Structure 1
Amino acid sequence: MLLTITTTHRPATDLGYLLVKHPGRLQSFEVSGGTAHVFYPEAGEDRCTAALLLDADPAARSAKGPGKGPDTFTLRQHVNDRPYAASSLLAVALGRVLRTALRGDSRDRPELAATPIPLELRIPALRCKGDAATFFEPLGWTVEAAPIPLDAAHPEWGPSRYVDLTLRGTMRLADALNHVYVLLPVLDDAKHYWVSSDEVEKLIRAGTGWLAEHPAKGVIARRYLAHRTSLTNEALSRLSDVDPDADSVIERAPRPESLAALRRAAVVRQLAEAGASRVLDLGCGPGALLGELIRDRRFTEIVGADVSTVSLEMAARRLRLDRLPDRQRARIRLLQTALTYRDDRLRGYDAAVLMEVVEHVDPPRLPALAASVFGHAAPRTVVVTTPNVEYNVRYPGLEHGRMRHHDHRFEWDRAQFGAWCDDVAARYGYTVTRHGIGEEDLEVGTSTQMAVFKK
């Protein structure tokens, strides 16, 4: 199991002070279920990477256990994914080996420990139940979770249950490590040890400053506490008593709002300014924008459309459609449809949104998408957002020529996006204005670019 932590904060080798692990030495620690090693694959002034490698020993783990359970005296004890896929074993090693960094303490660099710095965390093999972005994006991370194929020689078999997870963001190292410490067993939805009441204390302690306000805190608590109802209820009760405005013992820098949240807010603002009340979310995915729309009473009819039935099911669960009051439930509809084909059900709406959608379409299919949305559905307003490839150089660890997501078919620079927008507007009778979303860099612009088309 492997976790790497990379920063480009200068001098980058100060990462060693925060982790309390010297960049010039390999250090090893005996932990529950194996041996943890800390080393630095790279350590320079501009970029530094620390690696936590857990060499898990399932047989040793079983031998230290109570002598009963599913792994004892079975083939499963020796043939399983536990030595390779990140799980609660790695979380325990993280808590044992990087305990000082998790607390946010640094004798040599206390100011840096309290300062948000650019970070990239990567876990190349993680068993993931659900969408990793659901858990990490609300915390300010940009998430890339590339599915690992079941068998590279047989792509037709589809993806496995594992992902290659990369997190990018600017935050305190202690916050970053605590996010991973809690969410590793949550994503795996399993723990390798008996969960007792002291796990509630661990969850509350590691979740200080972020878990009480997390939109998925119920799921996080339930999975972290191994679905034990009494412990989950205790944790949620204690989290509900947390006052997010109370003074903290340690003064913390405010967490920057995530790009995903900024993007949703910008889209909703444009819809409101256009006076739209009946809105299409085209390529809605698991329903992040739909959640924002349904909370705003200005939008009286909301349609989420996606080609993936799995995404629509996730959106339904996320919105809790089965629990909404009848009046609220009547405002929203989910449709399965392909955006490259004309669909009469999408005609007659005030506005449509294509939020982070066009880059997932093969370029030869873009004219069909434009004809379907702008020509056939023809709402008065269309809002489109897409990544700005020029900004990719500002993401630490994103190699030149590599796209932000494994499913992106392309990523446009500002000139390319502008040319596409102008062509679509002229072809289908719209005017178009373009905007940036996120912090603007004088050289490369903003991370997300947005176009607003109006009839």
Structure 2
Amino acid sequence: MLLTITTTRQPATDLGYLLHKNPARMQAVELAYGRAHIFYPEATAERCTVALLLDIDPVSLVRNRRGPAGEGFALEQYVNDRPYVASSFLSVAIAKAFNTALNGTCKDRPELPEQQWPFEATVAVVPAPSAELLRRMFEPLGYSVQLQDYPLEPNLPEWGPSRYYTLQLRHPAVCLRDLLSHLYVLIPVLDNDKHYWVGEHEVEKLLSKGGDWLPRHPEREFITRRYLLNLAAYTRPALERLLDGDTSTNVELDAAGVELRSSGDGATLALGALASSPEQPTTEKRNLHDMRLEHVAAEIGRLGAKRVLDLGCGEGKLLRLLLQNRTIEYVLGMDVSYQALTRAQQRLGLPDMAPRQRQRLDLIQGSLLYHDPRLSGFDAAAVVEVIEHLDEGRLNSFEQVVFGKAKPGVVFVTTPNVSYNQKFEKLHAGEFRHADHRFEWTRAEFEAWAAGVAERNGYSVQIGPLGPEDPEVGAPSQLATFHRADQQP
């Protein structure tokens, strides 16, 4: 990813004093995930440009666990946009490479930080759901915004545009400190895969770098929520402090009384309910993914299944719930990611597990797209939020592996309800809940697919909602329960 900043204020080479970086030297800053290079493509009295080039190491991202949120999918850990797209990594690089300028200090020329210069900044490239969003974020700060978009695949124009833009900002008179603080705050707002844990310290960073301008920004609430990953515990106090005690900003609830926020596919639902005193509301927060797993585990328990498959077991959350059911004699967890299986072993405590308990569980690496005889002979199988990570064209292979060959007595398949996405403030039109999702279906599309699978393979199927239902768009997830013909309830 590349950031360039250009000024024509003369002598333009004073930019080197502001940045504390000599235009005659190329410099580098070591980062935990790679290296940032600082150099000047041009440096004359009339025009000076500084470039910040980030060289991201994808392997370091995985080893340091700073990669995309979907680490359970092995390929995405190494094949992703992190090395190429301006993200929260760029903000970290700005803070480290241009620390004095970001803080508004200049030892050699202390008068420079307060001067307003003409600046042009170019970021290649930024992710955004729309060009309109980029304009809404930067134009209120006095920038003229020019964008270059890119097709998703130049040789296949029917695929349409990608979500990436080269962003060019021009300001006739702005302090470099302010320009850097705008980039420092707003670039992470566009990043759905932040590499760091969001906590109280992020509130302090936001207030420190945005406190001078963010309260006046018309999109201040949107910016604050996105910067803090829509975590109400942090956005509420941050907004109150930004607005100097104005507490009129409330968390939005949908028609079912659900506070919505999303972090990848692990969306969180805060179920609001009134206590006995109407002045003291209570909030029970439950993770949507946990709700799915608990529901499926309970359904498997009601079946009285003895041998159970968890296909796409990830780090073992459902496996833990299944092992708590003493009527289940054996559980087999399978995942394509070796790393996820390693974490499952650690989280389940396999090395220290009692021998009798250890005999009830096995973990194997495998793919749902290829026949595996180890999957045969099971009473029930769980496929929780897995199919949407497969290309639609390969669902036929998945069907043959699970329903045509393995043939569990009962199969539970869950997948997101795309119609519910409009309820997630963090998502924009056309965005999926997770960067690795290849599709997300409406309720009608899911029902049609499930009905075809059942008919072709000798199963019956029932479709139901999963999670709190909205009267207009339904539940956030949907569940199909397939019963083999000789296992009818």
TM-score range, shorter chain: 0.5 to 0.7
Q: Give the counterpart letter for 2:342 in structure 1.
A: E
User: Within the alignment, does 1:342 sit opposite 2:371 as a pair?
Assistant: yes
DSSP-derived class of the 1:49 partner:
helix
State the alpha-carbon separation in 1 of the partners of residues 225 and 452 from structure 2: 50
- Which residue pairs with 1:144 in the alignment? 264
Instruction: Indicate yes or no: 2:209 matched with 1:36.
Output: yes
Residue in 2 aligned with 1:270? 299
CA distance in 2, matches of 1:101, 1:263: 36
Residue 317 of structure 2, aligned match among 270, 273, 288: 288
- Give yes or no for contact 2:301–2:325 (8 Å, CA) kept in 1: no
Q: Distance in 1 between matches of 2:417 and 2:392?
A: 16
Aligned: 1:48 with 2:221: yes
Name the aligned partner's letter for residue 143 of structure 1: S
> Residue 310 of structure 2 aligns to a residue in which SS?
strand
**Partners of 2:216 and 2:437 in 1: CA distance:** 29
Call closer, same or farther: CA 1:445–1:52 in 2, change over 3 Å.
closer
Aligned-pair CA distance for 1:40: 5.5
Rounded to whole Å, the distance in 1 between the matches of 2:262 and 2:431 is 15
Q: Does 1:253 align with 2:282?
A: yes
1:434 to 453, 459, 463: 463
Question: Which of these residues, 413, 423, 433, is aligned with residue 404 of structure 1?
Answer: 433
Tell me which amino acid in the other structure corresponds to 1:302: V
1:300 is displaced (CA, Å) by: 1.4
- Deviation of the 1:443 alpha carbon: 1.1
Aligned pairs (5 A) from 1:22-421: 35-38=208-211, 39=214, 43=218, 48-51=221-224, 98=238, 109=247, 117=252, 142-144=262-264, 169-170=269-270, 253-421=282-450
Amino acid at match of 2:473: V
Distance 2:270 2:333 in 1: 32
Structure 1 residues 251, 310: closer, same or farther in 2, change over 3 A? same
Gaps of 5+ in 2: 1-87, 93-181, 186-203, 229-233, 273-278, 485-489
Q: Give CA-to-partner distance per residue, 1:338-388, whole Å, 9 cap, x none.
A: 111111111000001110000001111110110000010001000000000
**Aligned-CA RMSD value:** 4.1
The C-alpha deviation readout for 1:229-258, integer Å capped at 9, x for no partner, is xxxxxxxxxxxxxxxxxxxxx956232322
Aligned to 1:446: 475
Question: In 2, distance between residues paired with 1:141 and 1:330?
Answer: 40
Change (3 A) 1:369 1:334: same
CA spacing shift, 1:400–1:452, aligned 2, 3 Å? same
Task: Pick closer, same or farther for the CA change 1:53–1:273 going to 2, 3 Å.
Answer: closer
Q: Structure 1 residue 430: deviation in Å?
A: 0.3
For the structure 1 residues 53 and 288, does the alpha-carbon distance in structure 2 shift closer, same or farther, using more than 3 Å as the test?
Answer: closer
Q: Is the partner of 1:271 in helix, strand or coil? A: helix
- In the TM superposition, residue 312 of structure 1 has moved relative to its aligned partner by 0.6
The 3-state SS of whatever aligns with 1:254 is: strand
The amino acid that maps onto 1:49 is F
Q: Distance in 2 between matches of 1:52 and 1:440?
A: 24
Change (3 A) 1:432 1:53: closer
Cα distance, 1:98 vs structure 2: 4.5
User: What secondary structure sits across from 2:440 in the alignment?
Assistant: coil
Give the letter for the 2:210 counterpart. Answer: H
CA distance in 1, matches of 2:239, 2:262: 25
Looking at structure 1, the residues matched to 321 and 262 of structure 2 have their Cα atoms a distance apart, in angstroms, of 19
1:59 corresponding residue in structure 2:
none
Q: Distance in 1 between the 2:209 and 2:226 partners?
A: 6
Give unpaired runs (5+ residues) of structure 1: 4-25, 55-85, 87-93, 120-138, 146-165, 173-249
Task: Give the deviation of 1:437 after TM superposition.
Answer: 0.8
Q: Tell me the matched-pair count.
A: 271
**1:415 alignment partner AA:** A
Q: Give CA-to-partner distance per residue, 1:61-115, whole Å, 9 cap, x none.
A: xxxxxxxxxxxxxxxxxxxxxxxxx9xxxxxxx89x949769xx99654xx79x7
Alpha-carbon deviations, 1:300-334, whole Å to 9, x = none? Answer: 10110011111111111111111211111111100
In 2, are the aligned partners of 1:117 and 1:171 still within 8 Å (CA)?
no
Separation in 1 of the partners of 2:241 and 2:216? 19
Q: What is residue 136 of structure 2 aligned with on the other side?
A: none
Residue 42 and residue 417 in structure 1: after superposition, are their counterparts in 2 closer, same or farther (change >3 A)? Answer: farther
Q: Aligned in 2, Cα 1:337/1:433: closer, same or farther, shift over 3 Å?
A: same
Cα deviations across residues 132-190 of structure 1 (Å, max 9, x unaligned)? xxxxxxx9964228xxxxxxxxxxxxxxxxxxxx9765489xxxxxxxxxxxxxxxxxx
Distance 1:445 1:171, change over 3 A: closer
Residue 296 of structure 1, CA deviation: 1.7
1:7 matched residue in structure 2: none
CA contact (8 A) 1:118 1:396 kept: no
| Whole-Å separation in 2 of the counterparts to 1:108 and 1:169 | 26
In 2, distance between residues paired with 1:408 and 1:372? 21
Partner Cα separation in structure 2 for residue 106 and residue 381 of structure 1: 57
Cα distance change of structure 1 residues 413 and 251 upon mapping to structure 2, 3 Å threshold: same
Instruction: Measure, in 1, the Cα distance between the counterparts of 2:361 and 2:422.
Output: 39
TM (normalized to structure 1)? 0.52
Q: Which has the larger radius of gyration?
A: 2
Letter of the 1:348 partner, please give it: G
Could you tell me whether the CA contact under 8 Å between 1:279 and 1:302 is conserved in 2? Answer: yes
Contact 2:267–2:288, Cα closer than 8 Å, also in 1? no
1:338 match: secondary structure: coil
C-alpha change, 1:346 and 1:41, in structure 2 (3 Å) is: farther
Alpha-carbon distance in structure 2 between the residues aligned to 1:143 and 1:317: 24
Q: How far apart are the structure 1 equivalents of 2:365 and 2:226?
A: 43
Q: 1:268: Cα distance to partner?
A: 1.2
